[in-house]
């Protein structure tokens, strides 16, 4: 056989060129050379500066990102320094104030045109410690069903990231550590495409303080930062104590910090200038002294409301709709509160002490939530955490209260808010009897090697990696092959993450975890109004009490009769005014934008997608004029509520349901409910209305019995409220 050597030599020109590994990326301020590892299937870009060093005059200033100085060619194969932690009395090796770097890990065959989804991970550590370099990318990238990019950031910690007070407000910025994270996300929007990523497909994720950070980015700047990411995940999001930046607590921490330096006794601007001139060692020492002197506090520094980035507390923001409209996936562990109290130096706050009492538990919680009142604490113990439920153990009682308050209920808060506003919201509950279910132990699934775990745990970890990465890849839903379907949180279902034997029974099914979400509301009320009694809140999983009966009243009876007659056909018998409808439509538009005019939007729906929750506006918003009511009325009642149902109840325009009752749709499952009446006690008639709706629309769902909670009865006439002889915020109606 004759070989055509000339043709063979020309064959490479006819074949496609081998794909070059994207190992060097040129940005407008430098060229960064990474490390390609074919065995791992990853190209590592480590320690890329995303902002100027926040030192000197830039200490407690917003990050300057991207850097303004061209860096030339940079070796990006090694991690940058971690930020200075609170437990350092000096700047140790491997830590630095010059720490604002990003690490980017891309699949081996990525090109600049790949447009891969991006998963960003914020490390935990209570906002006072932690290091992005301790979260390797291999399990994330190799465990994904399709390619994605993994990113970690360093951000300022402790006093350098979260010192507050009026002096810094006037002469710097507040919550600098969170601003670092935001700058990192903005950096990704500008540059990630050059690493093969798609800036439109960024998902943020974190654990503990990192999950708290994702929560804060959801509500940042009034919930307007959704353009920086399309989905958010969090493992045990920290619902920190968030006082105002100029509160007594924050000003006290600031003064204490300054007192451990040589900058005390100056005016505000001079003090901050003095602090900026100190060496980093002095800052680290002062921060460590604050930490050591607050013996009942786990974390001495952390985020606070600043009026700009964090405009309101998470509970308020999520219930009012002031958060970014993106899908979310959050969860928590069974024993979130374990071992925290034992780490405290103050024996009066250490619930593990054999001499602990109920006051010890209070001291422990008050050390983390400074304005917690004893009255609110006692109410919570009596209603939700009786000591006998914890084998008369103050330690178990305290850890359950703390775990639910800081971590468990915040996951419920976020996913519940998402689904109430028509967004995908997924929850999980980590319960692992072999590895443990303490705070942070779910991270073994993502950042540890398989050699230390048994086959059941390894199988679970594979599914978890697929669930979390698929959520980031699709931006919509967690999916894992050979695993059960993870349902959205419409009915407060939680995916139970628990190992099962390979080939064994399918026990890993969705499970309900009814946390004491009411306890969060109790404490929130105590934090907002420390001199007031805590506001009762219903717990949906607890047995309901006997429905409240309306007191005898002939005029009320006549009005109830009229309303009940109108509810029969569920049809509006008297045409509402055009002004009334126009203003309701305007309100619907405001709600769609996440804005609630003068109304505390504490929306809460009963389980299984059906229920009602009423708001209690102190001053009812001017939705309609007096002429809308009967001419003889001088005292008006306005009740707002949300009807939750799987299918659209009323279509897409305001629809009358009964005399004086108008429903306005918000999305495919939520509708506002407006009531106008000539008598305050007609509020009781809402029970009949809800039952009528249930019978009318749920007859085919085999729901023979439903309990609804009416919460937040809003009545302008205070005397009329007292005549009701029931708490103004609680009344029950039961349908049979």
Is residue 54 predicted with pLDDT exceeding 80? yes
CA 545 centroid distance within chain: 31
Closest alpha carbon to 165 in 258, 26, 80, 278: 258
- Please give the DSSP secondary-structure letter assigned to residue 298: S
pLDDT at 641: 35
* pLDDT tens per residue, range 299-340: 989 999 999 999 998 988 988 889 999 999 998 888 899 989
* Spatial contact of 611 and 561, defined as CB atoms under 8 Å apart: no
Q: Which residue has the tokens 């090694």?
A: 78
- Looking at the DSSP bridge assignments, the partners of residue 639 are 675
* pLDDT tens per residue, range 126-163: 999 999 999 999 999 999 999 999 999 999 999 999 99
- Mean per-residue pLDDT over the chain, rounded: 71
* Spatial contact of 678 and 688, defined as CB atoms under 8 Å apart: no
φ, ψ for residue 692, nearest 5 deg: -65, -40
Burial class (CB in 10 A: 0-12, 13-18, 19+), 391: exposed
Model confidence, pTM = 0.70
42 against 684, higher pLDDT? 42
Q: How many residues does the chain have?
A: 736
pLDDT at 496: 63
Whole-angstrom distance, CA of residue 233 vs CA of residue 331? 9
454 against 551, higher pLDDT? 454
CA 661 centroid distance within chain: 34
Closest alpha carbon to 332 in 470, 212, 482: 212
pLDDT at 456: 78
**How many Cβ atoms from other residues are within 10 Å of residue 728's Cβ?**
16
pLDDT at 495: 60
* Spatial contact of 463 and 483, defined as CB atoms under 8 Å apart: yes
Which H or E element spans position 368? helix 358-368
- Lowest-confidence region among 209-218, 222-231, 588-597: 588-597
Sign, Cα dihedral of 630, 615, 372, 212: negative
Cα distances (Å, whole numbers) of residue 164 to 211, 259, 305:
21, 15, 10
pLDDT at 484: 67
Tell me the three state secondary structure of residue 426.
Answer: strand
Whole-number percent of the chain with pLDDT over 90: 45
* pLDDT tens per residue, range 347-388: 999 998 889 999 999 999 999 988 888 888 888 888 778 899
Q: Which residue has the tokens 């909670």?
A: 709
Whole-angstrom distance, CA of residue 241 vs CA of residue 526? 12
* ∠ CA 625-628-633, rounded to 5°: 95
CATH class of 24-86+93-326: alpha beta
* Spatial contact of 644 and 722, defined as CB atoms under 8 Å apart: no
SS3 readout for 21-70: CCCEEEECCEEEECEEECCCCEEEEEEEECCCCCCHHHCCCCCCCCCCCC
The active-site residue, picked from 65, 96, 101, 208, is 208
Where in the chain are the domains?
A: 24-86+93-326, 338-434+450-464+492-512, 543-735
Sorted by sequence, the CB contacts under 8 Å of residue 615 that are 6+ apart come out as 599, 600, 601, 602, 603, 639, 640, 641, 712, 714
Structure tokens at 447: 């950042």
* pLDDT tens per residue, range 60-71: 999 999 999 999
Whole-angstrom distance, CA of residue 542 vs CA of residue 518? 11
Q: Which residue has the tokens 């670092």?
A: 180
Whole-angstrom distance, CA of residue 124 vs CA of residue 101? 16
- Lowest-confidence region among 107-121, 669-683, 702-716: 702-716
What is the mean predicted confidence (pLDDT) over 98-116?
97
Closest alpha carbon to 628 in 553, 685, 574: 574
Cα distances (Å, whole numbers) of residue 540 to 217, 333, 382:
29, 21, 17
Closest alpha carbon to 416 in 518, 476, 367, 488: 488
Is residue 727 predicted with pLDDT exceeding 70? no
Tell me the three state secondary structure of residue 721.
Answer: helix
The answer to whether 488 is a known catalytic residue is no
Which H or E element spans position 171? helix 166-171
Quick check: bond before 66 cis, omega within 30?
yes
Burial class (CB in 10 A: 0-12, 13-18, 19+), 39: exposed
Whole-angstrom distance, CA of residue 189 vs CA of residue 76? 20
Question: Can you spell out the DSSP letters for 81-136?
Answer: PBPPPTT-SS--TTB-S---EEEEEEETT--TT--EEEEEEE--STTTS--GGGS-
From the CA atom positions of the chain, what is the Rg in Å?
A: 28
Is residue 718 predicted with pLDDT exceeding 70? no
Which H or E element spans position 581? helix 578-592
pLDDT tier at 249, thresholds 50, 70, 90:
very high
């Amino acid at each position: 056989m004759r070989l055509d050597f000339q043709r063979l030599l020309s064959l490479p020109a006819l074949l496609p060129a081998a794909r070059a590994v994207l190992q060097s990326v040129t940005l407008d301020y430098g060229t960064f050379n990474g490390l390609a590892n074919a065995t791992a299937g990853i190209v590592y870009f480590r320690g890329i500066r995303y902002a100027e060093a926040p030192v000197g005059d830039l200490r407690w200033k917003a990050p300057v990102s991207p850097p303004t100085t061209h860096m030339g060619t940079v070796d990006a194969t090694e991690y940058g320094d971690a930020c200075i932690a609170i437990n350092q009395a000096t700047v140790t090796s491997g830590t630095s104030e010059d720490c604002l770097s990003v690490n980017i890990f891309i699949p081996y065959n990525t090109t600049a045109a790949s447009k891969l989804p991006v998963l960003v991970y914020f490390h935990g550590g209570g906002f006072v410690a932690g290091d992005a370099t301790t979260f390797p990318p291999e399990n994330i990238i190799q465990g994904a069903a399709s390619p994605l990019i993994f990113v970690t950031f360093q951000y300022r910690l402790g006093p350098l990231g979260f010192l507050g007070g009026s002096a810094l407000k006037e002469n710097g910025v507040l919550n600098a550590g969170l601003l670092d994270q935001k700058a990192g996300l903005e950096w990704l929007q500008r540059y990630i495409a050059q690493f093969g990523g798609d800036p439109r497909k960024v998902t943020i994720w974190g654990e503990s303080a990192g999950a708290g950070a994702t929560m804060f980015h959801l509500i940042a700047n009034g919930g307007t930062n959704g353009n920086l990411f399309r989905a958010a995940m969090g493992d045990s999001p920290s619902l920190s104590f968030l006082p105002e930046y100029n509160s007594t607590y924050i000003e006290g921490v600031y003064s204490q910090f300054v007192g451990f330096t040589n900058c005390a006794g100056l005016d505000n601007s001079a003090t901050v200038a003095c602090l900026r001139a100190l060496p980093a060692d002095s800052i680290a020492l002062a921060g460590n002294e604050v930490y050591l002197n607050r013996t009942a506090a786990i974390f001495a520094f952390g985020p606070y409301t600043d009026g700009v980035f964090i405009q309101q507390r998470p509970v308020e923001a999520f219930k009012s709709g002031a958060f970014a409209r993106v899908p979310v996936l959050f969860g928590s562990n069974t024993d979130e509160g374990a071992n925290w109290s034992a780490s405290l130096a103050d024996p009066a706050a250490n619930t593990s002490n054999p001499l602990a009492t109920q006051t010890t538990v209070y001291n422990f919680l008050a050390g983390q939530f400074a304005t917690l009142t004893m009255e609110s604490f006692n109410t919570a113990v009596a209603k939700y955490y009786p000591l006998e439920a914890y084998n008369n153990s103050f330690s178990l009682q305290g850890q359950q209260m703390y775990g639910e308050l800081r971590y468990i209920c915040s996951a419920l808060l976020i996913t519940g808010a998402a689904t109430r506003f028509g967004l995908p919201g997924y929850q999980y509950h980590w319960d692992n009897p072999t590895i443990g279910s303490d705070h942070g132990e779910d991270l073994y699934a993502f950042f540890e090697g398989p050699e230390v775990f048994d086959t059941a745990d390894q199988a679970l970890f594979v599914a978890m990696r697929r669930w979390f990465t698929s959520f980031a890849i699709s931006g919509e839903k967690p999916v894992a092959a050979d695993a059960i379907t993870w349902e959205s949180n419409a009915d407060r279902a939680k995916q139970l993450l628990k190992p099962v034997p390979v080939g064994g029974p399918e026990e890993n099914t969705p499970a309900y975890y009814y946390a004491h979400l009411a306890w969060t509301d109790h404490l929130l009320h105590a934090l907002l109004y420390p001199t007031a009694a805590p506001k009762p809140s219903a717990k949906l999983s607890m047995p309901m009490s006997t429905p409240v009966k309306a007191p005898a009243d002939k005029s009320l009876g006549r009005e109830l009769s009229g309303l009940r007659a109108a509810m029969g056909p569920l049809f509006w018998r008297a045409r509402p005014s055009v002004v009334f409808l126009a203003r309701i439509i305007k309100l619907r538009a405001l709600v769609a934008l996440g804005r609630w005019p003068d109304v505390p939007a504490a929306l809460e729906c009963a389980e299984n997608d059906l229920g009602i929750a009423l708001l209690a506006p102190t001053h009812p918003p001017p939705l309609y004029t007096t002429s809308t009511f009967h001419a003889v009325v001088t005292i008006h009642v306005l009740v707002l509520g949300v009807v939750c149902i799987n299918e659209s109840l009323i279509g897409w325009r305001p629809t009358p349901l009964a005399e004086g009752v108008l429903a306005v749709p918000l999305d495919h499952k939520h509708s506002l409910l407006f009531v106008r009446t000539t008598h305050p006690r007609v509020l009781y008639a809402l029970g009949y209305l809800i039952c009528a709706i249930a019978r009318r629309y749920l007859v085919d769902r085999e729901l023979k019995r439903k309990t609804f909670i009416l919460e937040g009865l809003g009545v302008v006439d205070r005397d009329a409220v007292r005549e009701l002889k029931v708490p103004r915020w609680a009344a029950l109606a039961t349908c049979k």
